[in-house]
Amino acid sequence: MTTINAHQLGRLIDKTVDHMGSEYVETLHGIRLDVDAQYLYAVASDRYTIAVARYQLNADEQQEPWARTIPATYLRSIREWLQQIEGAGLVTISTVEDRLTFKSPHSELTISVSPGIEFPDWRGILRLQVEQAVDGSETFPALNPGFLARFNSGDTVRLRITGDDKPVLFFAEDFLGAQMPTKHAGLSPVGKEDFNGAHQAWLWTLAAGAKDASLDGPAFEEDRPRYEVTTDIRKTGEALLRQTLGSGWDMSGKSTRLPDEFLAHVIGAVNGWSAFRYLNALYNADPRAAAAIVAEVADELDSGEIGEFAWDAAKKAGFDPQKWHDDYEAHRKERAEKDAAKAETAA
């Protein structure tokens, strides 16, 4: 059993919720509560980012280590339940097999969890990154994270940290920016003011992680339904490249014995590569426009009406989709007649 006040538990969730994985990665679609002898941790990762928030437990409390992942579907209910408790009100968290129970003096909330669900060795992953950052440098500027979002212009940016009391520089194609450390705003950093101090503060936690931990592996990859459409521009590009390569591999496979099947693979490869090149060119020209069109196309594909959309687009562009349809039907009829004649001759 673990005890924490309602306000602090809510903060742990709020600090990590934006980092959890998508609904197509069951092992990452939620927040991991992880308890050791000293801390209660909330951990979330989408493989691109990872976030850990911790709360120091009462030293007198005999705490047995445990870990459970709260599925994303329950997070809203938990936050609403916590809001009904006074911030200083204590909440006890207990685990019984496939149940996680949150109990306050006047109410309780029980949710279903999967005790055996796999989760990354977050201690090991962060241990490796932190240890690699121990290079003797004293550069460790304090930044207001609220300002970082202002540099999200849709471009991929590169960073250059210039010093403790100097701005962090942001570079992108046709873009240059800088963010001043909090010292320039009259604010002092909260907590340890140097990297070695911060490293020491987390050393006990990270020491329990494996040195070869990673987020690679099938358990942490998306299990997206075959025809599920994504609105993420990076995943869209990945899907197009996989289609191109997959169709290319299929061209030399056993399924290419029939001309029609070979042609289908050729068309799949050509269209996949063409779409990727067009998307990549649009992204380089205008990342926001590329992201917007990917989201718009995803909605159109999800609607199941792309035939109607294509027909309207052809007419709007000045083409004659009815003629295309008539030519297609004539081709099918001619082909059917040829196949029938071949069958009659063979008989």
Q: What is the largest CA-CA distance in the chain?
A: 93
The 10s digit of each residue's pLDDT in 204-238 is: 899 989 888 888 877 777 776 655 678 888 888 88
According to the model, what pLDDT value does residue 166 have? 85
List the one residue out of 181, 180, 182, 178 whose CA is nearest residue 170: 178
> How big is the CA angle at 177 (ends 174 and 179), to the nearest 5 degrees?
165
Q: What percent of the chain has pLDDT over 70?
A: 93
Q: Mind giving me the DSSP string for 289-333?
A: HHHHHHHHHHHHHHHT-HHHHHHHHHHHTT--HHHHHHHHHHHHH
Q: What is the mean pLDDT of residues 102-125?
A: 92
What values do phi and psi take at 252, rounded to 5? -100, 10
Per-residue confidence (pLDDT) for residue 200, from 0 to 100? 86
Q: How do the domains of the chain map onto residue ranges? A: 2-112, 139-193, 233-346
- pLDDT per residue as tens digits for the range 158-213: 999 888 778 899 998 888 999 988 864 444 445 446 788 888 889 989 998 988 88
> Which tokens is 279 given?
């998307």
The CATH number of 2-112, from 3.90.550.10, 3.10.150.10, 2.130.10.10, 3.30.390.30, is 3.10.150.10
Backbone φ/ψ region at 325: left (φ over 0), alpha (ψ -120 to 50), beta: alpha
